[in-house]
């Protein structure tokens, strides 16, 4: 009988030189995190944390198109549709434990971010010490478009970005290039795709100082012309106030933001704003616990998440039918109640 090759693992964790290396290896799915990958992360963190021969962790994405496009929300939606609350709970609780494990790793956690980095991809990098982006990187937290909310500990990170950048990114899912990510505070260093092989080789040899040698100053952010307007509008203090401020701004940029917000899940906008307001006052552990509690309500009990993933990722008609259908109809008392379960 002809021999068949074993399927390649979706996460490849190895010990190379002085580094523990992790390759997210689902290139056809843009390296979206599934349960097996999350468990692989957890095992690697546990193995390497106290291994003196591992001087640093090095994280990469396979395929050249993406670092990691986020969590496998289609699988989460399927579990929610099936009423499998245990599967939903396992996915998010284990993912958030990995986020916490990265923050507490105690050694350099170096992410080489080349290509798409969204949602869960930000979660496995932003809590580490070195987030190195290239000229081909693209960051976004597009959760409001699928009626989720910025999670993976970003309810801690986003409120601590300069000015109102965090709430702008959270509500609109605005896309940042590598340079933008450095200026926003989501990335720590900027380099080119061409420099990555030599930088990787130096890191494998245990030379963390190579990061400074191979990286360069990031050019001006693409959002720089709108920086004052971002703070002025998205720092307004509530969803209705943000909308009013954008209307008053009257620019093409402001009209573009309004269009994005009116297409997002109205409930998700209010949940996200409240989440970041609360996250600004909590530590990372408190934020992760708050996010986990919120997933139980938003994913399992509210119809918008299933509808949002359907419209964007399953049927791809991009015509979600939100409940309620518009921002004015959102019951703000119901939003507050979501945080009390």
Model confidence pLDDT, tens digit, residues 115-145: 999 999 999 999 999 999 999 999 999 999 9
Q: Return the pLDDT at 90.
A: 97
Catalytic residue from among 151, 274, 304, 307: 151
Q: What is the DSSP string of 188-249?
A: SEE--GGGHHHHHHHHHTT-TTHHHHH-BPPPPPTTGGGHHHHHHHHTSSSHHHHHHHHHHH
Tens digits of residue pLDDT in 274-327: 999 999 999 999 999 999 999 999 999 999 999 999 999 999 999 999 999 999
Q: Return the pLDDT at 6.
A: 46
Q: Return the pLDDT at 3.
A: 45
Catalytic residue from among 61, 120, 153, 166: 120
Catalytic residue from among 71, 121, 153, 178: 71
- Domain spans of the chain, in order of start: 11-140+175-214, 224-338
- Read off the pLDDT band of 4 (50, 70, 90): very low
Mean per-residue pLDDT, 158-163 = 98
Q: Is 94 annotated as catalytic? A: no
- As a whole number, the mean pLDDT across the chain is 96
Q: What span, in angstroms and rounded, lies between the C-alpha atoms of 312 and 272?
A: 19
Catalytic residue from among 143, 180, 274, 291: 143
Residue 251: how many other CB atoms lie within 10 Å:
11
Q: Is 95 annotated as catalytic? A: no
pLDDT for residue 63 is more than 90:
yes
pLDDT for residue 253 is more than 70:
yes
pTM of the model: 0.96
Q: Which residues pair with 61 in a beta bridge?
A: 24
Mean per-residue pLDDT, 232-247 = 98
Q: Return the pLDDT at 7.
A: 59
Spatial CA neighbour of 200 closest among 192, 191, 190, 210 = 210
Q: Is 247 annotated as catalytic? A: no
pLDDT for residue 149 is more than 50:
yes
Whether the bond into 324 is cis, omega within 30 of 0: yes
pLDDT for residue 194 is more than 70:
yes
Tens digits of residue pLDDT in 207-229: 999 999 999 999 999 999 999 99
Q: Is 151 annotated as catalytic? A: yes
Distance of CA 251 to the CA centre of its chain: 29
Percentage with pLDDT > 90 across the chain: 97
Q: Return the pLDDT at 341.
A: 58
Tens digits of residue pLDDT in 69-113: 999 999 999 999 999 999 999 999 999 999 999 999 999 999 999
Tens digits of residue pLDDT in 24-34: 999 999 999 99
SS3 content of the chain, % helix, strand, coil (to 5): 50, 15, 35
Spatial CA neighbour of 185 closest among 193, 194, 176 = 176
Percentage with pLDDT > 70 across the chain: 98
Q: Return the pLDDT at 8.
A: 77
- Read off the pLDDT band of 5 (50, 70, 90): very low
Q: How many helices (H) and strands (E) does the chain have?
A: 16, 10
Q: Which CATH number describes the domain made up of 11-140+175-214?
A: 3.90.226.10
pLDDT for residue 331 is more than 60:
yes
């Amino acid at each position: 009988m002809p021999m068949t090759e074993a399927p390649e693992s979706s996460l490849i964790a190895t010990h190379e030189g002085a580094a523990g290396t992790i390759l997210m290896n689902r290139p056809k799915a843009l390296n979206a995190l599934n349960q097996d990958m999350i468990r692989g992360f957890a095992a690697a963190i546990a193995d390497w944390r106290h291994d003196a021969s591992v001087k640093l962790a090095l994280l990469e994405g396979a395929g050249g198109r993406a670092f990691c496009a986020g969590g496998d929300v289609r699988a989460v939606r399927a579990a929610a549709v099936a009423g499998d609350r245990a599967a939903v709970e396992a996915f998010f609780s284990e993912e958030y434990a990995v986020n916490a494990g990265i923050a507490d790793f105690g050694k350099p956690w170096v992410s080489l971010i080349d290509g798409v980095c969204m949602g869960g991809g930000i979660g496995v990098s932003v809590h580490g010490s070195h987030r190195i982006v290239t000229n081909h990187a693209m960051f976004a937290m597009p959760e409001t478009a699928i009626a989720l909310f910025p999670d993976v500990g970003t309810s801690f990170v986003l409120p601590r970005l300069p000015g109102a950048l965090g709430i702008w990114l959270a509500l609109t899912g605005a896309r940042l290039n590598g340079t933008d990510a450095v200026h926003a505070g989501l990335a720590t260093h900027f380099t080119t795709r061409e420099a990555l092989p030599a930088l990787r080789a130096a890191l494998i040899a245990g030379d963390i100082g190579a990061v400074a040698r191979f990286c360069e100053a990031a050019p001006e952010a693409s959002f720089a012309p709108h920086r004052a307007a971002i703070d002025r509008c998205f720092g307004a203090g509530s969803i209705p106030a943000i909308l009013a401020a954008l209307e008053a701004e009257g620019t093409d940029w402001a009209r573009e933001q309004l269009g994005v917000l009116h297409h997002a899940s109205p409930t998700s906008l209010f949940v996200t704003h409240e989440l970041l307001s609360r996250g600004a006052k909590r530590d990372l552990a408190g934020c992760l616990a708050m996010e986990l509690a919120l997933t139980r309500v938003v994913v399992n009990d509210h119809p918008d998440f299933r509808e949002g993933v359907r419209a964007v990722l399953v049927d791809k008609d991009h015509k979600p039918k939100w409940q309620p259908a518009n921002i004015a109809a959102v019951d703000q008392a119901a939003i507050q109640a979501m945080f009390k379960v």
